[in-house]
Amino acid sequence: MKELNIFIFTHELSTVTEILRKHNIAGMSFFEIHATGHTKRKEIPEMVHVYQSGKMITPETEKRTKVEVLVPDTVADSIVQELVKSIGSESEPGGLVFVTDVSNAHLLGTNRSGDSLLIKE
């Protein structure tokens, strides 16, 4: 099985969710994070407390969404390929996916383990 750590713009979360549903993936976790990366950050109005100062600043980080999901080896490559095709472009990348091998997973309180946990029944 593989762990996919997917870093995307928040508005792309529904695209990721739909791709995972298409492959009957049982669950995922997602988090709002602040990150830097390959995309160019845009200037925004500086805020002091709740007031705009009139200055423009380029923030060090931007909000992103991180999705963590375990998938069977048999569908990992096709999920990654669909993400690459569906999110961003060559000139404007839409995120990043890290793929990691996972040796096993166990459902706590049961004797169930392995790939069967990763697919909806």
Distance, in Å, from the CA atom of 106 to the CA atom of 108, rounded to the nearest integer, reads 6
pTM of the predicted structure, to 2 decimals: 0.81
Architecture category of domain 2-117 in CATH: 2-Layer Sandwich (3.30)
Distance, in Å, from the CA atom of 8 to the CA atom of 68, rounded to the nearest integer, reads 11
Per-residue confidence (pLDDT) for residue 40, from 0 to 100: 66
Q: How many helices (H) does the chain have, and how many strands (E)?
A: 2, 6
Burial 74-109 (b: 16+ CB within 10 A, else e): ebbeebbebbeeebbeeeeebbbbeeeeeeeeeeee
Tell which residue, 63, 73, 67, has the closest CA to residue 19: 67
The distance between the two most distant Cα atoms of the chain, rounded to a whole number of Å, is 60
Average pLDDT, the chain: 88
pLDDT confidence bin for 38, thresholds 50/70/90: low
50 burial (CB, 10 Å; 0-12 / 13-18 / 19+) is exposed
Model pLDDT for residues 42-96, shown as the tens digit of each residue: 666 666 666 667 777 676 778 899 999 999 999 999 999 999 999 988 888 889 9
Instruction: Over range 91-108, report the average pLDDT.
Output: 92
